[in-house]
Each structure stands twice: as structure tokens, then as C-alpha cells.
Amino acid sequence: MTTDSWLGGAAAIATLTFDVDAESPVLAAGAHYAEHLMTMTHQSYGPDVGVPRVLDMLDELGVPATFFIPGWVAQARPGLAASVVERGHEVAHHSYAHRAPTSMSEQEEREDFARAMAVFARQGIEIQGHRAALWGSRWQTPELVAEHGLRYDSSLMADDRPYRIGTARGELAELPVHWSLDDWEQYAFLPEPHIGSVIESPVKALELWRAELDGMRHYGCLFNLCCHPFLSGRPGRIMALRRLVEYALECGDVTFMRCRDLAAAVLADPALTARPLPEPPSYP
Amino acid sequence: MTTDSWLGGAAAIATLTFDVDAESPVLAAGAHYAEHLMTMTHQSYGPDVGVPRVLDMLDELGVPATFFIPGWVAQARPGLAASVVERGHEVAHHSYAHRAPTSMSEQEEREDFARAMAVFARQGIEIQGHRAALWGSRWQTPELVAEHGLRYDSSLMADDRPYRIGTARGELAELPVHWSLDDWEQYAFLPEPHIGSVIESPVKALELWRAELDGMRHYGCLFNLCCHPFLSGRPGRIMALRRLVEYALECGDVTFMRCRDLAAAVLADPALTARPLPEPPSYP
Amino acid sequence: MTTDSWLGGAAAIATLTFDVDAESPVLAAGAHYAEHLMTMTHQSYGPDVGVPRVLDMLDELGVPATFFIPGWVAQARPGLAASVVERGHEVAHHSYAHRAPTSMSEQEEREDFARAMAVFARQGIEIQGHRAALWGSRWQTPELVAEHGLRYDSSLMADDRPYRIGTARGELAELPVHWSLDDWEQYAFLPEPHIGSVIESPVKALELWRAELDGMRHYGCLFNLCCHPFLSGRPGRIMALRRLVEYALECGDVTFMRCRDLAAAVLADPALTARPLPEPPSYP
Amino acid sequence: MTTDSWLGGAAAIATLTFDVDAESPVLAAGAHYAEHLMTMTHQSYGPDVGVPRVLDMLDELGVPATFFIPGWVAQARPGLAASVVERGHEVAHHSYAHRAPTSMSEQEEREDFARAMAVFARQGIEIQGHRAALWGSRWQTPELVAEHGLRYDSSLMADDRPYRIGTARGELAELPVHWSLDDWEQYAFLPEPHIGSVIESPVKALELWRAELDGMRHYGCLFNLCCHPFLSGRPGRIMALRRLVEYALECGDVTFMRCRDLAAAVLADPALTARPLPEPPSYP
């Protein structure tokens, strides 16, 4: 491994990412949920209580992070994105209305994408990367990301190491995600709309993520953790997340990066070659 | 932190709450379940076996608690609410028929609310607080609670510390709840009506709640635990609950309170300002 | 506590019960599953592999057990019930076709009940007790059990100690069950028909049941464990069950009984009074 | 136990099997998922990242394995099956399109079966065994397997030790599977199509499988572990799988075999007698 590798000499790279969805996933499931007061407060806890608590924790630990914010959320809470950038973290694109591209027409996806870009432009927030709502990318999504001049995407699962995607509108770094590195599967519970059924102990989530981190240190991977402030911002969970970061720091061979900085390293890594996406598979 | 803070010098406040739903959630899901003998006995275990066992445990540990009882349950078991008050605990409003406000018209909600108030009035039980059935509050619910002269609500999730809600009919203390501090998600199982699919070990529930309590002691929060006697009244589970309370007492920095006493402290805390509820969010 | 108490001086009574359902629950969900070879072998494992293994384990540990067998299963495997009785254990009634009484008309329930009685009569198997398929008793079921001259039922959940039910056709001992003392919720998995979604480790099931046993020793209860040979007969699970029984034996204050022997003690206990079933609850 | 027993003197036999399904189970659930880029990458991770990692691990541990590959997958990735055989492992039949026999007509099943055989014949891959997609065998499936000259099937659950099935077209060894020895139930998560809801920690999966292995060493069984490279190929999980194999090797009484080698031992074991499949059960 050379020093110009995306790993930069580390055993694994860690990107802490926070999807600040607020009410948008619930309202995308049904606009009438706006009338459900408890449900709305369940979601507003994320930006209002979780995000400040996460920002403080990151300060205390001295690690950077990336916040994926739907444009609608940034618009409804005008100071939110700036409060993240001011603390040295990155804000990235997470759709406008938190609807999956696979649930929209190509035209709807294009309009939703541009609308979020416009919100951030008005707020003076520079955007370099994108994560699809619900990770629900269509085959055309990466090209759309490149078309807007972004450098990376973080929605796909073809590897557990970053890779490069060639599109007709330019090249992207892909920083892959996975269900097992998402706090939603461990913590989300809401009967209506149904977003999950099991509430795991933070002890279990920590055990799972630490096992994955150790495996990724063995194999030289990207530990791309996806957390949601309305879930991981709660007291017992953020303490577990803090312990996870402390463990990674103690390992001494894990580097924490903002996604944009990792993407730059990936795009500059001479060992990685951009490949165009294959055709969708043909099935009998 | 001043001594007139709602925390009163403690690291965290703990409110033990017991929702004594009896048969009502099952019958709300379908009146024909009244004919299902096993299902009815599954639910009647709560008031008949669970509540006396919980009351004895509270006596032994010397901690107060709050019992949220649907009016229909209090009416069907005339001595139930009094048996709670006699032991020094609080009885609070938990709807009449355990139907969520979000599933009722405003007029139905108003009638259901008043009907429960009338039951408790006839039984000489003074009511100061409310918890919506299924925590299913609508935007109008807090005002209805204030209109009846109650001091607090305990159904929302906008924070993990108490807050104050201003309504057109007066101010309320909100003592927020959360799915992770509810025994239903850990223990409830019934195939028809389906109320849950996983039965966790009490060891896991204790681990989860202890992690949350420790986090809340770190952040100065309200540990508002919601238990159901038909679930947590079972032998292995009440032993775990006892160990949780013993742990909290050993910490030395957790104060146990009835909800009404906490609500009074919240309403008297000069650092908390009542805010009107925001408008329901507008979503494209 | 006097020596003529049903507890007989023990801290808790343990009844090991095995529901030998074989293919019947799957076929009750859809007769076409008879064509699904894998599914049928999944179920036949119970009587063919699980039951002999359970019988050997019970011999080695020297504890008695009760086997609830649907009449259809006993009929299709003529030597099955006798093989249980020959080893000193009890066979009891578990419907004919493993359909819940709540899913049948009263006439269908009566015919199903009698048909199972006839199978056992032809096989010379004496029956003293009953457990409803899926524990799905209707309000009329206990009277039907008494009408056939049986002494006990084991399908209800009004308590975690035995109780006595008065019916128009005589008195029954009720040996209550509970979801948390059933191996189905811990181990059952089958996508079609869907019978469960989570496969827990035997370590977790052992932890759960041991916690409940310890709680029941504290409160003087009936540890009425319900296992299914197609689930708990598997190697890792039967080893955990063996450890549970060994633990209970080491406690020194737990008595293992056949259900019929416990039922006799319950019916002779002067401290227990038979109460008629209440009316089904009336709900608005 | 004689030395010509299928156990060959071991306490248990272990067959590590990997079902390389790639995109096929998702496309079988809906051809339109081909347009879902994230979903397709979630699946392609299996052959592209998981399989090479598994092959390396097997080399390092020095144990053989069997890879069940749908014909469609082998066809779409021409070098895949050969890469497995070159490392000394076995490739076996896993349908063409990963549709369950129970969801096809007999004619469709026959064509699907033959189509997969033709793919492997063209690739020069010799096939000796079969595993039904989704383990969804019909009553006619074993005869079809025998008709094509294969020696074994691995889809049924009538025992946890191998057995012999007599069919009109010859005899098969059955190497039984079980849900509890499948990584799908522990790890699979995908909301659309829904393939699972819970992501367990590798620590829990290891605990479960080790408990089953220990039980199988006690009872003399076949530990037939079914893993999927898109699931168990992930870093934390493959480390747990490695520890499981290391544990089994340390036991000193577990023999690892390819399925074909075990099948040959089963068919040569004089203590095992082939029995024809019984009739499908008749149910009222």
C-alpha cells in the first residue's frame, strides 16, 4: 500500500455520517401524519435535540463528520445547515423531500435534486456529495449527481471499500453504505407509519459495529456509519456511539474523515480506476 | 443549575409509570375479541395479578409511581384506582376506551376525554395529568388537556427533558415518553390481534434501560419509564424492574417522583418558558 | 403455606410440557402445504427425531413431563402416544386437527374435541387434561373440557399460579400458560406459512426461562414450560433445555410434576376456591 | 459406530455451504428490481466481493466447502464456478433462476432444472448435488434430482443426520438443512423486496451456531451450515465465521467435508437404508 492510497496508511477509514431527516420520511409515507402530534415530535427531536448533542460530542472527541440533510429540512430550519458547517463538519445532499428515486419518475427525481441544490445555494452551503433518500438510487442517479458537479455519492453497496464510477457527465467516488452500519435497523420503532419493530440495546449496537470495525481493519475497508439524530441522539445511544469512536481512536490505525476529504483521496488514488456502471441485469 | 430547577439537584429524575390498560387495547382492536377467553385472561392478568405485585414492590423499595388508567378500566374494576391512591401513588387519565386521538374525530376525542374524567370524579380520584392512548395525540390534544384543568401531559417526544406547552386554555408541563423506555416493545406478544412479535429476556430490557438511565444521568434528563402490569408484572420481569430501581437508588443522584410532583416543579422552574405548539409542518 | 398446598412446600412447581403438533399447524394454515416437501419434513422432525430425543433426556434427568398431542397426530402415528406413556409420562388432549376454538363454530369445536377423545380411547390412552390448539379457547371451552370428564385445562393466562374454574359441568384446575414460557416465540421460523421471523440463540432462551424460573421461585408460581419437539428437539436447543432442568434441580426448591398430578393437588388444595368464569367484558 | 459409518469416527461432520444467489432472489421477487441500483449492488457484492474473500479464508483455514450456484448466476458471471472448483471446492446445482419448485408447475421445474444443468455442462463443471431454491422442494423434486444422475440433495429437514431417499429413478443421499444453520435469518435485511427485518450481531450468530455445533457433537449430527456471500462475506461476519471454523477445528472431533464426499460416505454406509418418501399427509 502506497501513501497515495485512499487509506493513507490507515487500517481502515471511518466516516461518521448523520442523516438529519427530521419529519420528512414520515411525511413522505403520508402527508396526513403532519396532524399526528406525537409522531411529529418523535421526528423533530432529531434536529432540535439530537443534532446539538451530536455536535458537542464530536467537539469533545475531536473527530469530523458529514451531515446529509434533505433540502426541505434545511429550508424549514434555516440555521441548521450553517450550525453544522460552523463546527467544521460537512453538509451534503440528501434529496429535497426524502422520496426514493426508485419511487419517482426521472423528471421528478431531477426536479427534487435541483430543488435541494437551490436551497443550499441560497444558504451559502457548498455541496460536494449526495446520498439518495432511503439509499433508493436508480441506474440514472449517479449521472445526475455528476451532472450537478458533485464529487461523490454514498448510497450503493457494491463493495465495502470506496470505488469510482464513470458516468457520461463525469466521474464520481462512491463511498458505499450498508444496512449493518445504519442505526435505523437497530433502533427505529414507530407503528404508524411502520418504520421498524425492534429496539435493540445500545450494548448490542456497539457490539455489532465494533465487530464490523474490527473486520474492516483486517480487510482495509471504509467504516461508513450512518446515524440518525432522532435515533442515536438519545442519551444511552449517544454514549454507546461515543464509546465506539473512543475505541476506534484507541486502535490507533483508524482515520476519521469527512466524506468530501475521503472522496478527494479516492479520486486521486492511482490504484483505483473508474468503471462505468454495468447494464441492469437481464433475468428470465 | 439552581435548586429551583426541575432537577432539584439530581442528575436525573425518574418517573415510574404503569399503564393499566387491561382488556381495552385488545377490544379497541376488535370488539369480537371479548369472546376469546385466552386473550381476555392475557389482559386481565394486568390489573388482577400485576398491579398488586407492582404495588408491593413499590412499597418494599419505597419509591412512588404514577398509574395511567383508562376510564373504562377504572369503571369495570371499581376498587382499582382507589387501591393505587391508598398506597400513596398517583392515578392519571389515560383516555376512556384506549382509542388513539388520531383515530377519532375531534368530537369523539372530546367525549372520550370527558367520559374518563367523569368516572374518576365519581370515584373521588383527583386527576392532574394525562397520557394519550397509544401516545396518539393530535395537535388539538394538549389544549383539551388544559381545558379540563389538568397540569401535565405525558405523550410527546420532542425532548428527553420536561418542557412547557402554551395552549389557548393554559399552560401544561410535558413529561416526554419514548419507545425505548416502554416495556411493550420488549415484551408484548400476541398474534391476534397482533401486538408484538418478539419476547426479549428481562436481562436485555434491564441492559437497555440501564444504558438509557446512565445516559440520562450524564445529560440531565427525565427517565420516564412506561410499564404495563400485564407485561412487567410477570415474575422474571418484575425482578428485573426491581433491580433497575435498586441500581438507580444506588447511584445516589436519581430522584424518583410522581408525575404530578414533577409537573409542579416543571411549571415552577423559572428557566423553562412555555412555548406554543408550532404549526403542523407543511410538506410538498 | 401448609403441606396440603398445591406447592407442597416447594418454592415453585415446574411442569415440562411438549406439544407434539407435527404437520398439523401448517396444514391447518393451508391444506396445500401437504405438497411442500421441505415444509412437511420440517414438521415431521418433531415426532420422528425430537420426541425420542426428548424422552431420552427426560430419562437421563429423571423428571416427568406431559405431552399434548393432537388426535390427528396420534392417529397418523399409531405408536406415538403409547411410547410416551410407556416411559412414565402423560399424554393429554390438544384438539384433533390443531384448529383454534376461536376459529370454529361451537358445533365444530365439539366434534373436533370428541374426535380426539375417540382416538385416544381406541389407543387405550387415558386422558385427564386439555390444552386448546394455539391456546385459542373460547368462553365455552372450559365447560366442554369438564363435560368430557377431564380434570384440568392448560390454555389460559389469568394468573401465573394454578386456579380453579367452576363450570356448569364441573370444576377444572387451570394450569396457566404464557407466551414467555413457550419455545415457539424464541425459535420458530418458516416463511410460508409464516410462523415466526426470529431465531434466537439457545443461550438467550435459557437466560429468559431461567429469569422467569427465578422470579417464580420468589413468588411461588407454576413454571409451565411449553416446548415443541420440532423446535426444542434440535441439538443445541435440547442441550439448553437440559441445562435449564439441571439448574432447577440444583435449586433444590423446585418440584417437577406431570400436569395431571399437579391438577389433583390443585383440586385438593383447600385454599383455592373455584370461581365461575366472569362474563365476557362489555366494551363501548 | 463402525469406521464405515458416514461419521467416519468423528463426533460430527461439518459441511460449509455457500449459496451464491447474487441478484436472483431479488429478481425472482420482481423483475423491476433490476432498475433499483442500490438493490442490485447489495446483491452483486456476494459474487464480486464475498466469494473471493470466502475463498481466501477457506485457503487460510484449510477446509473444503460447497458452493450452490443458480445456473443464471453462473451464466452471467462465466468465470465464477471455475474459480471455486480451481480452489478445490465443489460447485452444486441451485436451480437456474432461484424460483422455488413449490411456486412452479412440474413442467416449469423440469425446464428450470435442466437449464441449470446445461449451463454447468457448457462450463465443464461436474455436478453431483442439488439444493432447491428457497429449499422449496415439492414431493416430486427428489426424483427429478435422481433422474439427472445426481447423488445427493440438500433441501429437506426430516433429520439432523444424513439419510437416504429411494426414488423411482434411483437413490439419493439427503444432507438436511435447517433455518437455524442459515445466515439469512441472522443477517438479511432489505425493505423492498422484503427479505428480512433484523440484523443480528456476528457475536450472536457465532453463539447460536456454536451451541448447535456442540449439540451436534453430542448427538452425532451433520452441521450443514448455509451461508450467503452477500451476507457472510462482510468483514465482521466473515471474522465470526472464521472463529467458528477455528473452534470446530480445535474441538478435534469435527470433520469438514465437501457435500459430494459426504454423500458418497452416506450412500456407502451399510447402516443407512434407503426409504421411499411417504405419501403427502392426508388432513381433514
- D227 within 8 A of D19, measured Cβ to Cβ: yes
Percent of chain B surpassing pLDDT 90: 95
DSSP string, D84-124: HHTTT-EEEE--SS---GGGS-HHHHHHHHHHHHHHHHHTT
Residue A215 and residue B102: Cα distance in Å, rounded?
46
Task: For residue D159, name the pLDDT band (cuts at 50, 70, 90).
Answer: very high
Give the pLDDT band of residue D149 (cuts 50, 70, 90): very high
Residues of chain A with pLDDT under 50: 1
- Asked whether residue D282 is domain-assigned, the answer is no
Domain membership flag for residue B283: no
Contact D97 A135 (CB under 8 A): no
Interchain CB distance below 8 Å, B283 and A187: no
pLDDT, tens digit, for every residue of D223-270? 999 999 999 999 999 999 999 999 999 999 999 999 999 999 999 999
- Residues in chain C with CB shorter than 8 Å from the CB of B239 are 211, 214-215, 218
Say if CB C76 and CB C123 are below 8 A apart.
no
- Closest chain B residue to C101 measured between Cα atoms? B36
Q: How far is D51 from chain C (nearest CA, A)?
A: 25
**B189 inside 8 A of chain A by CB:** no
pLDDT, tens digit, 9 for 90 and up, residues C257-273:
999 999 999 999 999 98
SS3 state at A65: strand
Residue A283 lies in a domain: no
pLDDT, average across residues D82-111: 98
pLDDT in tens, A76-95: 999 999 999 999 999 999 99
The answer to whether residue B251 scores a pLDDT higher than 60 is yes
pLDDT band at D156 (very low <50, low <70, confident <90, very high): very high
pLDDT tier, D4 (very low <50, low <70, confident <90, very high otherwise): confident
D224: number of CA atoms within 13 Å, CB side? 26
Is D174's pLDDT higher than 90?
A: yes
Task: Work out the average pLDDT over C202-210.
Answer: 98
**B23 in contact with C, Cβ within 8 Å:** yes
Residue B111 near chain A (CB below 8 Å): no
Q: What is the pLDDT of residues C134-193, one digit of tens each?
A: 999 999 999 999 999 999 999 999 999 999 999 999 999 999 999 999 999 999 999 999
Is some CB atom of chain B closer than 8 A to the CB atom of C186? yes
Are C89 and C67 in contact by the 8 Å Cβ rule? The answer is yes
In 3D space, the residue among D181, D188, D200, D236 whose CA is nearest the CA of residue D43 turns out to be D188
Residue A145 to residue A142: CA distance in whole angstroms? 5
Provide ipTM, 2 decimals. Answer: 0.96
Q: Does A62 touch chain D (CB under 8 A)?
A: no
Q: Determine contact: C27 vs chain D, CB below 8 A.
A: yes
pTM score above 0.90: yes
Task: Test C178 with B234 for CB contact under 8 angstroms.
Answer: yes
On the question of pLDDT at D3 being above 70, the answer is: no
- Tell me the average pLDDT across B213-224: 98
Total structural domains within chain D: 1
Mean pLDDT, all residues of chain A:
97
Please return the burial class of D117, using the count of CB atoms within 10 Å of its CB with bins 0-12, 13-18 and 19+: middle
Q: Which of A39, A41, A96 is best to mutate for the B interface (most B CBs within 10 A)?
A: A41
Average pLDDT over residues C187-211: 96
Decide if D238 is inside a domain. yes
Q: What percent of chain A has pLDDT over 70?
A: 99
Q: Would you state the pLDDT for residue A115? A: 98
pLDDT in tens, A251-267: 999 999 999 999 999 99
What is the rounded average pLDDT for all residues in chain B? 97
Give the β-pairing of B194-196 and B190-191. antiparallel
**B201 contacts C216? CB cut-off 8 A:** no
Task: Give the chains touching A; criterion: ≥3 Cβ pairs < 8 Å.
Answer: B, D
On whether any CB of chain D is under 8 Å from the CB of A189, the answer is: no
In a domain, D201, yes or no: yes
Residue-wise pLDDT for C53-65, tens only, equals 999 999 999 999 9
Q: Is any Cβ of chain A less than 8 angstroms from the Cβ of D35?
A: yes
Q: Write down the pLDDT at residue C143.
A: 97
- DSSP codes joined into one string, D107-169: HHHHHHHHHHHHHHHHTT----EE--GGG--BTTHHHHHHHTT--EE----S-SS-EEEEETT
Listed residue (A115, A109, A55) closest to A241, CA to CA: A55
Q: What is the pLDDT of residue C4?
A: 79
Does residue D3 or residue C145 have the better pLDDT? C145
Q: Where are the alpha helices (DSSP H) in chain A?
A: 24-29, 37-45, 51-61, 71-76, 80-85, 106-122, 141-147, 184-187, 202-219, 229-232, 235-251, 259-268
Residue B38 to residue C136: CA distance in whole angstroms: 6
Question: Does residue D34 register a pLDDT over 80?
Answer: yes
Question: Given a cut of 90, is residue D279 above it in pLDDT?
Answer: no
pLDDT in tens, C240-257: 999 999 999 999 999 999
Q: How confident is the model at residue D141 (pLDDT cuts 50, 70, 90)?
A: very high
A221 is a domain residue: yes
- Residues of A with Cβ-Cβ distance to D96 under 8 angstroms: 284
What is the domain-level CATH number for residue C213? 3.20.20.370
Say what the pLDDT of residue D275 is: 83
> For residue C3, what pLDDT band results from cuts at 50, 70 and 90?
low
> Which of C203, C204, C234 is the best residue to mutate to test the D interface, defined by the most D CB atoms within 10 Å of its own CB?
C234
Average pLDDT value for residue range B72-88: 98
The residue in chain A having the minimum alpha-carbon distance to the alpha carbon of residue D187 is: A180
| pLDDT (0 to 100) of residue A249 | 98
Asked if B211 and A236 come within 8 Å (Cβ–Cβ), the reply is: yes
User: How far C184 CA sits from the closest chain B CA (Å)?
Assistant: 10
Question: Which chain D residues touch C201 with a CB distance below 8 Å?
Answer: 204, 207-208, 211
Query: C115 lies in a domain?
Result: yes
Mean pLDDT of C82-102: 98
**Domain-embedded: residue B63:** yes
Contacts across the B-C interface (CB distance below 8 Å): 112
Boundaries of domain holding C259: 5-276
pLDDT at D2: 54
